[in-house]
A and B are shown apart, each in its own frame.
Chain A
């Protein structure tokens, strides 16, 4: 019972069931009326034929009647009565006496006026003299189990020739002389109707079965299969497999459900990776902090005792020298441990004005041996006029060190060269300035960290386009127009942009887009003026006065080019992601993502160009001066 219930609770069976019931109803009603109209047509056809037959018999016997040749009349009637479909042919006189009949035994019998054959005219007390053609026929069953019979009555009217005939059988006063009554068996017609019925029922059954079958087939294909896939996927995710993706997605709603499911799993996977990463970093930090704490106590002993000895042996230069080494190296250990603590706490960058060329030289000194071992020459093309920039020298050195080590790995043992080029460049603020803060008139922040465009938090704004309402995520890079529209918007309808929290409008009624004349949005950037743009998104007009006025921004550019193996195109987009590594067990996969984070912290940018077997070039741009820090 439960199984049956379960079977019927399946969506596919429910669908089949509903469709089948509907089909049965429609086809059933249709078949019923179809059969009925067919039999009606058949019966009326039979009636028409019978009337013609009746008229024919009447005409055939007319002359013989006038001649009063009764034997001949009987003979005609006998002959006609022999036809298998004709049940009986009778002629009755006015009194109801059967005068002629195909069944000889009936001749001379009297019929009651209430008999079925007389009823048409004698229903009321006074007999009808005229009987319309449609009332002349009747269908009856002589007894319940016999076949249906069609009776047709044809009244024989008095004519002048009848009363004037030689036999003088009829007086001229009588209007109706008698009745020609023919009865025809409907067995054949009934049989045909029955066969029609059977055909209809058969057709209905086949049609319903076919509909059910076809619906079932497609439901299985379009509903059952994808639903099963979805269930399988959720089960996989529940067991912890976050790499599962639903394949063979259709283009219908279930397909988009599957698509958004895949997207959700991807997001979930990323989040759990990040969580894993931060937990890893947190425990690493705790470990580092613990180690640092433990090491600092013994170091205190070493440092105080050695500096104490240093004070006591002022007259022994040899010993002073040795002790100085101990003190110096202990202080170095102290700095290392401090670095470990700083790493654990992800300390804020300690920025100072420094020459980038100098940092590169320092890095070069560290990797000199490694370069020599691998037969790699480091070519430095420095711009000697490079201005000093405000950076955390240690972090930037870590960036160069990481990139150099990567380059050495890429070149391998066969030798090659690394070229470092420093230069100054100027770039238009458009396409490089990131909007890091934006508010509505009521000071609600629009920055949305959930939806990122190009890896950066977008500006979430409510959009109303015609009757559609939803959200648009604006590209946070000034001058970039890769926005994300949560709704479909018609560029020609009136568009309203407003704060997602308080709904206050961003449309500036006082200005019009200089390109298309359409409405303009105006969003406040705290301490940095306003950003304006075309609110109908018909064109890419955007204006940020404060930034434009600052003019082109100057950068220090550092390019590191190697003659190594290059990066395959499919990996280029992933190299800055955490945990992406091609070094297998040797790499942590953190290097380039940390580099990206450091450069981003300095409001700079890093990009890469690479050709397989020819080498890679990493370009780093760091802003000069402090004209625009974080916005």
Chain B
């Protein structure tokens, strides 16, 4: 039996390792850390982890190569990507390559706690899937939808506008939603930038990234009164924004078609 720990931290900066360790410790998670991706791979062979927090810019093998390596070796540990070079491209690429979350540096304690909680929940959902307990499995998004990472979806409407929302997967990784904070129509969304804030019962704030860039033309007012709509029907009644996309064709290439989820 392999030794089991909760979190593996990969970063070439000691201060970042210390910071994440501090947060993990505060949340009562066990953790370990390495300073490059090669050692991380070696460690994963010998030990078992629930979650990995990985920097993009690493000496030798970088974060993206590390993600591909995990996929090649069929290692299903969820990865949270982080980087000081916090560009939209890096965020999108991380989510496209298989990371479950992206968090730009520097992050505050609360931001990191929220993301680690979601990551741990994600990890347990995957473990449940392995044990064939299907009752709690999230509903995958409809086949013609597209998603950014695992958390947000988009669907092209007939009138050229686009509906965006949160996946059931995302909703299942957070606690009961207490309050939702939405942006107003006419505000501009950028792909992989914060679009919605969810305040949950456990006192955390979870941010949902926008799937694509565009101008908001409508928000789902119903959600403000009945946030549970998101849990009941996340893909239809539980839509969040209706937007006019600005660079749909380009940005859709960076999204994952939901049809690929049904195997």
Contacts and interface: CB of A to CB of B under 8 A. Distances in A.
Interface of A: 289, 292-305, 307-308, 310-311, 327, 330-331, 334, 338, 341, 345, 348, 350-353, 390
Nearest to B215: A351
B85 A297 contact: no
Given A310-B109, A348-B190, 16 more contacts: A293-B84, A296-B105, A300-B106, A303-B108, A304-B22, A304-B23, A304-B109, A305-B22, A308-B22, A308-B26, A327-B108, A334-B106, A341-B86, A350-B190, A352-B188, A353-B186
B18 to A, nearest CB: 7
Nearest to A334: B106
Contact of A301 (B19, B85, B213): B19
Interface string B76-91: 0000000111110000
B87 A301 contact: no
B136 interface: no
Contacts of B16: 297, 300-301
A300 B213 CA distance: 28
Nearest to A299: B106
B15 A390 contact: no
Nearest to A302: B106
A293 B55 CA distance: 12
A300 B19 contact: yes
A436 to B, nearest CB: 15
Contact of A304 (B57, B112, B188, B213): B112
Contact of A293 (B57, B108, B215): B57
B181 interface: no
A74 to B, nearest CB: 132
Nearest to A300: B106
Interface in B163-191: 186-188, 190
Among A310, A334, A345, chain B packs the most CB atoms within 10 A around the CB of A334
Nearest to A309: B109
Nearest to B21: A304
A327 B86 CA distance: 19
A292 B105 CA distance: 10
B184 to A, nearest CB: 8
A307 B86 contact: no
A300 B26 contact: no
Contacts of A294: 84
11 contacts: A292-B84, A295-B84, A296-B85, A300-B15, A301-B16, A302-B106, A307-B110, A311-B109, A351-B188, A353-B186, A390-B186
Nearest to A338: B86
B8 to A, nearest CB: 18
Contacts of A351: 188, 215
B13 interface: yes
B186 A293 contact: no
Contact of B84 (A297, A311, A345, A348): A297
B234 to A, nearest CB: 28
Contacts of B57: 293
Contacts of B236: none
Contact of B15 (A301, A310, A327, A330): A301
Contacts of A330: 106
A341 B22 CA distance: 28
B107 A304 contact: yes
B19 A350 contact: no
B108 A298 contact: no
Contacts of A308: 22-23, 26, 109
Given A299-B106, A353-B186, A304 B19 contact: yes
Contact of B87 (A295, A341, A352): A341
B193 to A, nearest CB: 9
Contact of A297 (B23, B26, B87, B105): B105
A32 B23 CA distance: 116
A308 B21 CA distance: 12
B13 A297 contact: yes
Given A293-B84, A294-B84, A352 B19 contact: no
Nearest to B247: A348
Contacts of B112: 304
Pick from A294, A296, A348, A352 the residue with the most CB of B within 10 Å.
Answer: A296
B105 A299 contact: yes
B20 to A, nearest CB: 8
Question: Which 9 interchain pairs have the tightest Cβ spacing?
Answer: A296-B84, A301-B15, A299-B106, A307-B109, A304-B19, A300-B106, A293-B84, A296-B105, A297-B13
A628 to B, nearest CB: 15
A350 B216 CA distance: 12
Nearest to B57: A293
Given A311-B109, A352-B186, A345 B19 contact: no
A299 B85 CA distance: 13
A283 to B, nearest CB: 16
B37 to A, nearest CB: 17
A292 B19 contact: no
Contacts of A310: 109
A139 B162 CA distance: 118
Contacts of A352: 186-188
A293 B104 CA distance: 10
Nearest to A310: B109
A350 B188 contact: yes
Nearest to B18: A301
A352 B186 CA distance: 6
Contacts of A390: 186
A192 B109 CA distance: 125
Contacts of B18: 301
Contacts of B110: 307
B252 to A, nearest CB: 17
A293 B186 CA distance: 32
A607 B74 CA distance: 62
Contacts of B213: 348
Contacts of B26: 308, 311
A352 B188 CA distance: 6
Nearest to B109: A307
Interface in B188-219: 188, 190, 213, 215
A284 to B, nearest CB: 16
B102 to A, nearest CB: 14
Contacts of B108: 303-304, 307, 327, 331
Nearest to A349: B188
